[in-house]
């Protein structure tokens, strides 16, 4: 399967979020492969988006959002969980990223079960904190290049059937922006 080129991420953040649905996220660890189809994403932009980490400017944590597109922005939240984003923005904008909220497990499901310590497949990758645990994504993947073969990258997948949009989850401001995208499984 072909790795998505960097130009894919060099477009408006909201468009990239929508287009990432149905693509495949691949994670290589010690020679084995974990993979899942992206089923839910959210767009986070910059100055026009009060809910975005980048809204108040660059910090030690969010500096990846201001860097090169197609790289991973991983952050630690609520004291215990990592969330996984892809840096994506048009040329005119300084910062932006797409949060990967959910996956449909494809490869290495038994490994994911071990990583997560649960027997339920439905509990593996159904949320941002869960999928990072299943795929062993931590701060060491911060800045990883997703546009080339490495230990973490995104390939082409299946065109999504039906896309559902809605307000983003877990935020208080900018809930009028319908920047959450998901597909039916």
Partner DNA sequence: GCAGAGATCAGCT
Partner DNA sequence: GCTGATCTCTGCC
Tell whether residue 83 is a contact of DNA (CB under 7 A): yes
Tell me if 5 sits within 8 A of 147, measured CB to CB: yes
Q: β-pairing, 24-29 with 32-44? A: antiparallel
Q: Which stretch binds DNA (CB under 7 A): 12-20, 121-129, 141-149, 155-163?
A: 121-129
- List the interface residues with DNA, window 128-157 (CB under 7 A): 128-131
Specify the residue, 68 or 156, whose C-beta has the smaller distance to DNA: 68
Beta strand spans in 93-171 (E): 97-107, 152-155, 163-166
Tell whether residue 88 is a contact of DNA (CB under 7 A): no
Q: Which stretch binds DNA (CB under 7 A): 17-25, 30-38, 50-58, 145-153?
A: 50-58
Give me the least distance between CB of 28 and DNA, in Å please: 22
Cα→Cα distances 169→42, 52, 164, 165, Å: 9, 12, 14, 12
Tell whether residue 38 is a contact of DNA (CB under 7 A): no
Q: Which stretch binds DNA (CB under 7 A): 2-10, 11-19, 23-31, 165-173?
A: 165-173
Rg (CA), the chain: 15
Specify the residue, 47 or 149, whose C-beta has the smaller distance to DNA: 47
Cα→Cα distances 75→8, 30, 79, 123, 167, Å: 23, 23, 10, 21, 21
Residues 29 and 136: their CA atoms lie apart, in Å, by 9
Positions touching DNA (CB under 7 A) are 42, 44, 51-54, 56-57, 59-62, 65, 73, 75-81, 83, 85, 97, 99, 116, 118, 123, 126-131, 168-172
């Amino acid at each position: 399967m072909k790795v998505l080129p960097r130009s894919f991420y060099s477009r408006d953040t909201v468009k990239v979020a929508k287009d990432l649905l149905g693509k495949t996220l691949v994670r290589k660890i010690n020679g084995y492969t974990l993979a899942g189809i992206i089923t839910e994403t959210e767009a986070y932009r910059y100055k026009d988006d009060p809910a975005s980490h980048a809204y108040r400017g660059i910090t030690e944590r969010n500096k990846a959002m201001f860097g090169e597109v197609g790289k991973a922005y991983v952050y630690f939240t609520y004291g215990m969980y990592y969330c996984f984003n892809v840096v994506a923005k048009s040329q005119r904008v300084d910062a932006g990223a797409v949060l990967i909220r959910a996956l449909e497990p494809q490869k290495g499901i038994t490994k994911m079960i071990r990583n997560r310590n649960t027997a339920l497949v439905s509990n593996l990758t159904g949320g941002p904190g869960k999928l990072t645990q299943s795929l062993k994504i931590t701060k060491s993947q911060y800045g990883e290049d997703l546009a080339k073969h490495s230990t973490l990258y995104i390939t082409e997948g299946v065109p999504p059937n039906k896309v559902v949009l809605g307000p983003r989850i877990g935020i208080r401001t900018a809930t009028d922006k319908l920047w959450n995208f998901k597909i039916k499984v």
